[in-house]
Amino acid sequence: MVMSKIEILYTKAESNSEFVLLYKQPSVLVGRTDVVSVTPWLAPIVWVKTFDPTLINFIYKQQNITIATTVFALGKYTRFLKDFLESAEQYYFVGFRVHYYLFTDQPEAVPDVKLSEEHQLTVRKVPSMDRWQDISMGRMGILEKLTKSELDNDTDYIFCLDVDTKFYGPWGAETLGRLVGVIHPWFYDYKRTKFQYERRPESQAFIPVEEGDYYYTAAAFGGTVQEVYKLTKTCREQQSIDAAKSIEAIWHEESHLNKYLLYNKPSKLLSPEYLWRHIDIRRKHVKMIRLSHVAKNNAEVRLNN
Ligand code: 48C
């Protein structure tokens, strides 16, 4: 008598009280050839169709993990919260335990978004700042404190995301790793000499023209709590040293993040699928958009320019 796949599945389940997963056989010879999916230091570069999301989520679901996720919404940026949170509930670590930490100067402006029961939200009031550059860079110091001692010790991973973004596709356990950098959506096909690194030697974020791996965005980064603590602490320290000399790196905390990830190589890189420019812009290699910046009129939404 021929048993159907599902019967085999449940039979195995009864025998060793394990739910086994059946999935397509992996291959060492056949795979995506239009993009590179591993760095020279053998860190995976995550693109759709280079991994099996069902398998990876199944593996991590066994580990009972918690993912902290931070987002900052100060001044007029509170207007982005509703779309960010509602779209996150649709696509971001669905079925996993997620703890959002929302930093804002206007707690009363936080929209009431229904979260799944494994997801929770903590609102933290932070003082307003009158320059968007200070708000952006100030995140590093706040994240340093959070990751140093304010997370429950059952929090395994953390992602730090820009709020003027929206999810359009699944973001799952394939993104988890020790130290995770996200490739910037504007420069992924640029030569390193054209990366907008900080080029003034007097800045702590300085990177010489003959150096550089990738250009990472500061709009999304993550990893284990310990690794993100080291990253944010270093960026905050370097930003303070520059500030004491009245130097502000060309792209603020993003310049310091790039300096850090050049000399502390990420263990995993996320392709621009994980932080795209705009939902209406399409590029050949980006076959799926999972998180994207949303259109905003900088002049209108930022306090200063
Ligand atoms: O919350 C604010 N308010 C502001 O006035 C300026 C920035 N920010 C936070 O900093 C938001 O979380 C922004 O996403 C982040 C910096 N990123 C940006 O302003 C654009 N994504 C470049």
- For 90-126, the pLDDT digits (tens) are 999 999 999 999 999 999 999 999 999 999 999 999 9
Only one residue has tokens 């303070």, namely 240
Whole-model pTM over 0.85? yes
**pLDDT given at position 16:** 56
6 has pLDDT over 50? no
pLDDT band at 302 (very low <50, low <70, confident <90, very high): confident
195 ligand 1 Cβ < 6 A: no
**pLDDT given at position 229:** 98
Query: Tell me: the pLDDT tens digits for 174-196?
Result: 999 999 999 999 999 999 999 99
What is the full DSSP assignment across 211-280? --S--EEEEEEEEEHHHHHHHHHHHHHHHHHHHHTT---TTTHHHHHHHHHHHS--SEEE-GGGSBS-TT
245 has pLDDT over 90? yes
Average pLDDT, the chain: 94
75 ligand 1 Cβ < 6 A: yes
Query: Tell me: the pLDDT tens digits for 46-82?
Result: 999 999 999 999 999 999 999 999 999 999 999 999 9
Q: What is the mean pLDDT of residues 253-267?
A: 98
Cα–Cα distance for residue pair 142/125, rounded to 1 Å: 11
Q: What is the mean pLDDT of residues 214-233?
A: 98
253 ligand 1 Cβ < 6 A: no
- Residue minimizing CA distance to atom 22 of ligand 1: 219
Q: What is the mean pLDDT of residues 209-231?
A: 98
- Distance between Cα 133 and ligand 1 center (Å): 8
Tell which one of 78, 132, 140 to mutate to probe ligand 1, the residue whose CB is within 8 A of the most ligand atoms.
Answer: 132
**pLDDT given at position 14:** 53
pLDDT band at 217 (very low <50, low <70, confident <90, very high): very high
pLDDT band at 17 (very low <50, low <70, confident <90, very high): low
